[in-house]
Amino acid sequence: MARNERATLTFFGDVVSAFSFNKLVIFGVGLIGGSLARALRERGSHGGEGAQVIGVGRSAKSVSRALELGVIDAAATLDDEAALAAALDGADIVLIAAPVAQTQALLERIAPHLGQATIVTDAGSTKSDVIAAARAALGARIAQFVPGHPIAGRESSGVDAALPDLYVGRNVVLCPLAENAPASVERIAAMWRATGALIGEMPAAQHDRVFASVSHLPHVLSFALVDQILASPDAQLKFSFAAGGFRDFTRIAASSPEMWRDVCLANRAALLAELDGYTEVLAKLRAAIDAGDGAALETVFARSRAAREAWQERGGKSAAAAIDTAPGK
């Protein structure tokens, strides 16, 4: 796969290439892992005869629902070493779709059973910490790990929320390592293209800065607003009058607390920088409100509305198109 490391972000075409596999092993068959499994099965890329999707969970209960729904063909648990070894034997691709704080421990469990031809990837919302964890766990076998991040989700979690079309038209960012063979990167790209996703690349540090701003910060703010209201003496009264604006702003506060705890801690430097910037804007707005400066408020609101409308108008385009039209491009 050709890559331009000087570019802020490189996106590739959305042509769905042929993809097949013999065995895909998913650690964490929830919304993200389950949607991948459903997409590959239901969009015609399930592989040839005998192809398997195997789900691995912390306990039998955590994967039994995925098996019951037919999202996976077989299941294994982390507490059964023999079953884990059998699940990984001959695997083409392994996806880590668990909270990012679990990455190193999971890769350490995988490493002894990892075949030379197996490619491991992840779906974590942060990349620098995941890459560090992979280097620590895999050592000289780091070339087998291709870091990735599907930019898709819902406020609901768990395998019952998994959708076969979750990734259609959505971006998946890969953060290839210098050690990765181009064929390995293309293999993971082809898997995600088969789900209908658009595939691009970004350096890990830049990825973490970008998503601290447009993903991690909004989640923190959403959780914070709900928590602020909960702490007030008339919380129930406020909730009883909450309507569309509150619903839209706090929708993502229904997301997994465990996952977002890990994301915040993993990307703390970039997230703190974004929080500091947001605090500065709030301070300016507070000062304008306190001074009765309607003109200053309107200027900020108008500028924000124009930017939001421009972003919404680009909503049907890929991230590549948005970057091509960005100032200075």
pLDDT at 322: 41
Q: 137-150 pLDDT, tens per residue? A: 999 999 999 999 99
Element (H, E) at 95: strand 93-96
DSSP string covering 172-189: EEE---TTS-HHHHHHHH
By CB atoms closer than 10 A (0-12, 13-18, 19+), residue 326 is exposed
The verdict on domain 207-291 having CATH code 1.10.3660.10 is yes
Structure tokens at 102: 């679990």
For residue 123, which of 183, 207, 16 has the smallest C-alpha distance? 207
Q: Which of 4-8, 50-54, 257-261 has the lowest mean pLDDT?
A: 4-8
Of the pLDDT bands very low, low, confident and very high (cuts 50, 70, 90), residue 45 is low
Q: How far apart are CA 188 and CA 40, in angstroms?
A: 13
Partnered with residue 156 across adjacent β-strands are: none
Q: 123-138 pLDDT, tens per residue? A: 999 999 999 999 999 9
DSSP annotation of 212: I
Instruction: Return the domain boundaries, the chain.
Output: 10-202, 207-291
Q: Is the pLDDT of residue 10 over 70?
A: no
Q: Using an 8 Å Cβ cutoff, are 155 and 218 in contact?
A: no
**Going by DSSP bridges, is the β-strand pair 148-150/171-174 parallel, antiparallel, or unpaired?**
antiparallel
Q: How far apart are CA 11 and CA 201, in angstroms?
A: 6
Put the strands of the sheet holding 148-150 in their side by side order.
10-11, 198-201, 171-174, 148-150
Q: Is the pLDDT of residue 327 over 60?
A: no
Q: How far apart are CA 69 and CA 110, in angstroms?
A: 26
Average pLDDT on 93-119 reads 95
Of the pLDDT bands very low, low, confident and very high (cuts 50, 70, 90), residue 326 is very low
Q: What is the mean pLDDT of the chain?
A: 88
Average pLDDT on 300-305 reads 96
Q: Is the pLDDT of residue 50 over 80?
A: no
pTM of the full predicted structure?
0.83
Element (H, E) at 104: helix 103-110
Using alpha carbons only, give the angle 144, 63, 60 rounded to the nearest 5 degrees.
110
Q: Which residues contact 233 (CB under 8 A, 6 or more apart)?
A: none
Provide CATH code, domain 10-202: 3.40.50.720
Q: How far apart are CA 149 and CA 175, in angstroms?
A: 8
Partnered with residue 25 across adjacent β-strands are: 54, 94
3-state helix, strand, coil in the chain (%, to 5): 55, 10, 35
Q: How far apart are CA 98 and CA 29, in angstroms?
A: 8
